[in-house]
């Protein structure tokens, strides 16, 4: 038992030092997700751990723990010197801690991309959410299954974010250095505002919803559509297949409810609902069978389990389901003519 826990301690230390390998990351993730005792052990270990034999790193770690005691947000402050890459890999890479959001352990993974020099990735796995404070005072919420990419010079020579997934942005104003979000086929440009973007790589629709301020949307290929400008309580929906953009009024509170750990689904098609359930609960849902109609659902999810939600859906739709770990099988009962 001691050997096993020693191995776990070594994995957690490697994680904190940014030295965890891909296979080891999966082992550590499985350990944390196994039960609440393991999750608390990881939480306690990271709160009491400190790097050894490096006063500079130890000082930075103590500063980070001090910040952590006042907030549950993960902070990443990029040094504003030209040698940021070395400092970042030595110090900032260790400042990675599980974010306890609504009772779920969330993790930020940061790594240097092999094919894009001086570029870093922040990732929120499915079933988890994360908050990032950027050095320009902007803030980003990441929904499950989301990653963003930014350069080491973010806030110095650019404020560009490459997004895959769903994120809510609160952008600090800076007229000299606009904030850009590249979301698959579109580019979103702002100087300071609050907005939500849904742009999962596997989805056909890209949605940009504005809470405050204005944004400007342009196509990546410069041919799909002309420039659009959106203001508060508007939503732009871009169809990647038809290359068409549709503007419409938006209920921002519903669209952004996920960042407050509440998922509100209002009259959405069942296929879209199951995608959201996958990201919300961190599972893979396989659907078998086909109905002779496409039901729409309206749901509000706070602390309900996936089992409870599927039971509610079962009352209005003829289906059976089986939950096996993170694999969920849904069987539609096809009516025989």
Secondary structure string (H, E, C) spanning 26-84: HHHHHHHHHCHHHHHHHHHHHHHCCCCCCHHHHHHHHHHHHHHCCCCCEECCCCCCCCH
Residue 254 tokens read as 């519903």
User: Which of 274, 270, 268, 238 minimizes the C-alpha distance to 255?
Assistant: 268
What's the CA gap between 38 and 192, in Å, rounded?
A: 41
Highest mean pLDDT among 39-53, 103-117, 147-161, 298-312: 298-312
- What does the mean pLDDT of the chain come to? 76
Looking at residue 4, what is its pLDDT?
65
Between 229 and 293, name the one with better pLDDT.
229
Residue 209 tokens read as 């919803």
- For 156, 184, 249, the CA distances from 199, given in Å and listed in that order, are 26, 7, 19
What is the per-residue pLDDT across 214-257, written as a single tens digit (0 to 9) for each? 999 988 776 666 788 999 999 999 998 888 889 999 999 999 99
Largest alpha-carbon pair distance within the chain?
75
36: pLDDT confidence band, cut at 50, 70 and 90?
Answer: low
Is residue 156 exposed (0-12), middle (13-18) or buried (19+ Cβ within 10 Å)? middle
User: Which of 136, 124, 140 minimizes the C-alpha distance to 29?
Assistant: 124
DSSP 3-state of 176 = coil
What is the per-residue pLDDT across 117-173, written as a single tens digit (0 to 9) for each? 567 788 888 888 888 888 888 999 999 999 998 887 788 788 999 999 999 999 999
Residue 275 tokens read as 């995608």
User: Which of 26, 204, 263 minimizes the C-alpha distance to 125?
Assistant: 26
DSSP 333: -
Looking at residue 151, what is its pLDDT?
83
Is 50 exceeded by the pLDDT of residue 112? no
Pick the CATH number of 262-332 from 3.40.50.1100, 3.20.20.70, 3.40.50.300, 3.55.50.30: 3.55.50.30
Q: Are strands 194-199 and 186-190 parallel, antiparallel or unpaired?
A: unpaired
Helices and strands in the chain: count of H runs, count of E runs: 8, 22
Between 5 and 188, name the one with better pLDDT.
188
Highest mean pLDDT among 17-21, 88-92, 220-224, 302-306: 302-306
Looking at residue 249, what is its pLDDT?
94
What is the per-residue pLDDT across 68-84, written as a single tens digit (0 to 9) for each? 333 333 333 344 433 43
Assigned CATH topology for domain 53-252: Jelly Rolls (2.60.120)
Tell me the domain boundaries of the chain: 1-49, 53-252, 262-332
Question: How many Cβ atoms from other residues are within 10 Å of residue 131's Cβ?
Answer: 20
| DSSP character string of 135-195 | TTS-EEEE-TTEEEEEETTBTTTB-EEEEEEEEEEEPPP-SSS-EEEEETTEEEEESS-EE
Contact (CB, 8 A) for 139 and 55: no
Between 69 and 268, name the one with better pLDDT.
268
What's the CA gap between 139 and 266, in Å, rounded?
A: 27
Looking at residue 99, what is its pLDDT?
34
Determine if residue 24 is left, alpha or beta; phi over 0 gives left, psi from -120 to 50 gives alpha, anything else beta. Answer: alpha
What's the CA gap between 190 and 174, in Å, rounded?
A: 9
| Chain-centre distance for alpha carbon 141 | 7
> Residues with Cβ < 8 Å from 111, sequence gap 6 or more?
120, 121
């Amino acid at each position: 038992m001691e050997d096993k826990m020693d191995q776990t301690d070594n994995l957690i230390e490697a994680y904190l030092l940014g030295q965890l390998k891909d296979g080891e990351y999966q082992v550590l993730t499985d350990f944390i997700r196994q039960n609440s005792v393991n999750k608390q052990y990881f939480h306690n270990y990271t709160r009491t751990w400190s790097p050894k034999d490096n006063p500079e790193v130890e000082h930075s770690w103590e500063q980070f723990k001090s910040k952590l005691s006042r907030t549950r947000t993960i902070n990443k402050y990029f040094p504003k010197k030209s040698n940021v890459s070395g400092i970042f890999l030595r110090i900032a890479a260790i400042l990675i801690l599980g974010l306890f959001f609504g009772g779920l352990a969330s993790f930020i993974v940061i790594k240097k991309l092999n094919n894009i020099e001086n570029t870093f990735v922040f990732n929120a796995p499915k079933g988890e959410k994360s908050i990032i404070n950027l050095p320009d005072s902007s803030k980003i919420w990441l929904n499950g299954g989301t990653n963003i990419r930014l350069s080491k010079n973010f806030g110095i020579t650019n404020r560009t974010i490459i997004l895959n997934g769903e994120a809510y942005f609160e952008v600090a104003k800076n007229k000299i250095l606009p904030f850009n979000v590249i979301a698959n086929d579109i580019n979103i440009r702002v100087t300071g505002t609050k907005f939500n973007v849904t742009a999962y790589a596997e989805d056909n629709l890209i949605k940009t919803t504005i809470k405050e301020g204005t944004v400007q949307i342009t196509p990546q290929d410069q041919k799909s559509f002309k420039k659009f400008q959106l203001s508060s309580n508007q939503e732009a929906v871009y169809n990647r297949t038809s290359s068409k953009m549709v503007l419409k009024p938006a209920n921002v509170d519903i669209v952004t409810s996920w960042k407050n750990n509440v998922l509100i689904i209002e009259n959405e098609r069942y296929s879209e609902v199951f995608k959201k359930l996958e990201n919300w609960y961190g599972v893979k849902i396989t659907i078998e069978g086909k109905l002779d109609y496409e039901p729409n659902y309206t749901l509000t999810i706070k602390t309900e389990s996936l089992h409870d939600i599927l039971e509610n859906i079962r009352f209005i739709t003829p289906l059976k389901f089986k939950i096996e770990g993170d694999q969920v099988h849904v069987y539609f009962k096809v009516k025989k003519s």
